[in-house]
Structure 1
């Protein structure tokens, strides 16, 4: 798998920034991969009205400029990797 150009620190349910808990989006041309290290996290997409439960074996893909937010499900640890191209091996919520 290719490497991200940037990654966030690892956040837990208490350190997860408020900005990630409310609707936001990546910049045009930037893909985000939400990787759960421990526990679970809900990823919601504003435009599609869809949600995914993310876990250590099930990362979430955020497309460029796609409005979304996350909600911790109990204790969790997560990190976001950013790519300037579609990352290999990760599918979006629509399965593409």
Structure 2
């Protein structure tokens, strides 16, 4: 399991987030659990098509090889955990 934390704010963070905003696909077999620490984040999955607003009380699970992208809804902080088996939410 690897952890990454993103915070939208300064120029470097905004530039990095623009790169994440494009469609993302994790490695074969990996599940991604997106946890919002502060604020809100829109998670859009392309196949099957769905859209959900993630909050600190509502994490999002992305299945292996599921194309998706995220979009911050204002100031926010998030963490992404990667798993090789389904985590408990």
Instruction: Give the TM interval when normalised to the shorter protein.
Output: 0.7 to 0.9
Where structure 1 has 5 or more consecutive residues not aligned to the other structure, the ranges are: 90-96
Where structure 2 has 5 or more consecutive residues not aligned to the other structure, the ranges are: none
Aligned length: 84
Contact 2:8 2:17 in 1 (8 A): no
Q: Displaced runs of 4+ in structure 1, greater than 3 A?
A: none
CA RMSD of aligned residues (A): 1.2
2:34 aligned partner: 34
After superposition, give the CA deviation of every residue in 1:22-61 in whole Å (9 maximum; x if it has no partner): 1011111100000000000000011222101000010000
Q: Distance in 2 between matches of 1:75 and 1:83?
A: 27
TM-score (norm 1): 0.81
Greater share of helix residues, 1 or 2?
Answer: 2
Q: Distance in 2 between matches of 1:66 and 1:19?
A: 18
Q: Distance in 1 between matches of 2:78 and 2:66?
A: 19
